[in-house]
Amino acid sequence: MSTGPLAGIKVVEIAGIGPAPCAGMMFADMGAEVIVVDRKTANCNAPDLAAGAEAAKHMFMNRGKKSIAVNMKSEEGVETVLKLIDDADILLEGFRPGVMERLGLGPEVCHQRNPKLVYGRMTGWGQTGPLSHAAGHDSNYIGVSGAFWYGGRKGQVPTAPLTAVGDLGGGTMILVWGVMCALTHANNTGEGQVVDAAITDGSAYISSLLMMMKNTGLIADEFGTGWADGGAPWNETYECADGGFVNICALEPQFYQELLERLGLTDNPTFTNQWDIPNWPQGKSELAELFRSKTRDEWCEMLEGTDVCFGPVLNFTEAAKHPHNVARGTYLDINGVLQPAPAPKFSVSETSVGVPPAVGANTDDLLRAAGLDEATIADLKAKGAV
């Protein structure tokens, strides 16, 4: 039996790709029982991330989990999944909005059977907002959020930004995760413990998907030789006529085909075969010239919200005004200070955003709440203790 801090927690994860399986791995690593509901038949539209490799061996984001293969297109298959959910604490899914509902596994159905279920949803654009149903990938999402922009330098296109992977991704998020796991353990056992969160450990941990790609040959130790490390023309950031930038990441074949159609490239031999690696340098050159022919806003008018996996690369000032971010309330202006709103969003609970207090503003009230009388508080002040 598990002795991890989340021992006794049951998680049902609907199999997918990307960050949702990593979340399931984190629960399993901390001792939760994680049941992966795999497809009985593989998804023909998904990229073959384990081509030429022993797939299960390299899917380490499934470590410690249990797998059940289900045909979720059958009524019996859906009922089987619902039986697993009946006594689960958490459900994790990473599909585009509406997919789980069409399968008959949406929140309303699940909560009728298990009202206490925590239904965790992972998408790029969110369940609501004007871009919610568009395809996309990591670089598209962080471009619209404003985070991508700040990885740029004068004279070169933006790349991955500072702080997101290290300080906040590998540090803050892993610390919060560890503390919440330890809190669950303390609630279950009465035993507290130390949580040692190192940014080095955490940044390695959140690189799990990247490492899986490295292990299966999708990226190499030499830049520009694979689709994910700057080699492919259809996964790149391009400069526009006005000096702005846009990003495309049309990885899946159906999205690549839509990209060619919308750019008028279906008859261009350079792009006939998406995986014709010798043609990639020429493809990048042609796309760079094409994207320099219109402004960023013109490309947004043409491509944003479609399934080409597209996003403008915005700075924070622009990101705060973007219609998708406005619709989702992604940014707040409090007393003239632009700042991100709390995330994620909850269907029942409400977050509360306050204002920073002046240093020591609540000293007296906090001391009284701690049981100190007025004389003791006055004495502490007289001694310069508070």
Q: Catalytic residue positions?
A: 137, 167
Beta bridge partner(s), residue 310:
248
Q: In whole angstroms, give the CA distance from residue 4 to residue 330.
A: 34
How far is residue 90 CA from its own chain's centroid? Answer: 18
Roughly how many angstroms between the first and final C-alpha of the chain, as a whole number? 49
Retrieve residue 45's tokens: 């539209």
Q: Beta strand 310-313 with 331-334: parallel, antiparallel or unpaired?
A: unpaired
Closest CA to 96 of 257, 300, 254: 254
Retrieve residue 262's tokens: 């919308």
- Find where tokens 């985070």 sit: 147
Phi then psi for residue 323, to 5 deg, are: -55, -40
Retrieve residue 236's tokens: 């790149």
Q: In whole angstroms, give the CA distance from residue 298 to residue 242.
A: 10
Q: In whole angstroms, give the CA distance from residue 117 to residue 96.
A: 20
Burial (CB count <10 Å: 0-12, 13-18, 19+), residue 299: buried
- Find where tokens 């700057």 sit: 230
Q: In whole angstroms, give the CA distance from residue 109 to residue 313.
A: 38
Closest CA to 184 of 347, 26, 374: 26
Give the other-Cβ count within 10 Å of 70's Cβ. Answer: 20
- Amino acid symbol at 113: R
Q: In whole angstroms, give the CA distance from residue 36 to residue 219.
A: 26
How far is residue 44 CA from its own chain's centroid? Answer: 23
Omega before 323 cis (within 30°)? no
